[in-house]
Structure 1
Amino acid sequence: MAYDRVLAERVRELLAGVDGITEQPMFGGLAFLVNGNMAVAASGQGGLLVRVPRDETGGLLGEHVEVMVMGGREMVGWLHVDGAGLGDRLAEWVGRGVGCARSLPAKAGKAAVRRR
Structure 2
Amino acid sequence: MAYDQKLAERVRQKLASLSNVEEKPMMGGLTFMYNDKMCLGIIKDELMCRIDPDLHDAAIAKTGCRTMDFTNRPMRGYVLVEQSGLKTEKDFDYWVGIALDFNKKAKASRKKK
TM-score range, shorter chain: 0.7 to 0.9
Detail structure 1 runs of 4+ shifted over 3 Å in the superposition: 105-110
Letter in 2 for 1:50: C
Aligned to 1:92: 94
Residues 72, 106 of structure 1: alpha-carbon distance in 2 compared, 3 angstrom cutoff: closer
Q: Which runs of 5+ in 2 are unaligned?
A: none
Aligned to 1:20: 20
Q: Give the total of aligned pairs.
A: 109
Aligned to 1:77: 77
Please state whether the residue corresponding to 2:86 is helix, strand or coil: helix
Aligned to 1:60: 59
Root-mean-square deviation (Å):
1.8
Counting aligned pairs with the same residue, the percent is 33
TM-score, normalized by length of structure 1? 0.84
Which structure is higher in RCO with an 8 Å CA cutoff and minimum separation 6?
1
2:8 and 2:70 map into 1 onto residues whose CA distance is: 21
Please tell me whether the aligned partners of residues 33 and 101 of structure 1 are also in contact (alpha carbons under 8 angstroms): no
